[in-house]
Amino acid sequence: MSSQKKQQKLQINPDQLKQLIEASLFVLGKTVSIKNLKETVLITFSVTRVKIKAAIEELQQDYQGRGVELVSVAGGYRFQTIEALSPYLQPLWQEKAPKYSRATLETLAVIAYRQPVTRGDIEFVRGVAVSSQTIKSLTDRQWIKTVGHKEVPGRPALYATTTDFLAYFGLERLADLPPLTDTESLETLFSNVNSSSDSNEETGSTDTLNTEESTNE
């Protein structure tokens, strides 16, 4: 009898569900999936994935026309400021934003479009050596990760992008990446990343992403 009581789920009405989801997304400040919500803050409640999704969709409607929007990215949901306000909000985060060199962004682009790739693959596409610091910077930022090793002599690590990469760049899936031939869209994609020279990273990179080489196997 006691075990049955422990397994009983609490009821929650639609308004309370919306409030709890809204508060959870604000507190976490990152992309959260329906599965994660159901298994954490909503674990004690009798609520289905369908009801959770419906509550999220209502929240999205509630925030239309506001300075903050609820968006779907990387298989989950998060609150973010609307794009139109970015120029005015820039001073608030300008000083603490990490800076990445063109070399780092080119390396990230190669990994994103050709993953999984080895460091040697990246060097072949870019035409210059890729430093350990570049790989470390992207790994520390949790934009890339090691997903295995290539079955060749030395078994070099294979790199691929992460869900954090998708979330940061506002992508739902890798298929949402702009075509490599669309240089303008590529520049827009990376425009919210501070780009600067770094003495710890390799030199000799080009001024634009090497899209022509990236499309050729």
> pLDDT band for position 181 (50/70/90)?
low
- Range 148-154 contact pairs with CB under 8 angstroms and sequence separation of 24 or more: 148/116, 150/118
The answer to whether residues 149 and 158 touch, using CB atoms and an 8 Å cutoff, is yes
pLDDT in tens, 94-149: 555 567 788 888 899 899 999 999 999 999 988 889 999 899 999 998 899 999 99
Structure tokens at 136: 């470390």
d(CA 173, CA 75): 8
pLDDT at 190: 65
Provide, rounded to the nearest whole percent, the portion of the chain with pLDDT above 90.
45
pLDDT at 4: 47
Structure tokens at 74: 């990387």
- Range 209-215 contact pairs with CB under 8 angstroms and sequence separation of 24 or more: 209/105, 209/106, 209/109, 209/183, 210/106, 210/125, 210/126, 210/127, 211/180, 211/181, 211/183, 211/186, 213/125, 213/126, 213/127, 214/109, 214/110, 214/113, 214/114, 214/125, 214/180, 215/180, 215/181
pLDDT in tens, 54-73: 999 999 999 999 999 999 98
> pLDDT band for position 189 (50/70/90)?
low
Q: Nearest to residue 130, comparing CAs of 151, 106, 155, 160?
A: 106
Quick one: how many helices (H) and strands (E) in the chain? 11, 6
At 86, which amino acid appears? S
Domains of the chain by start residue, with CATH = 2-86 (1.10.10.10), 99-214 (1.10.10.10)
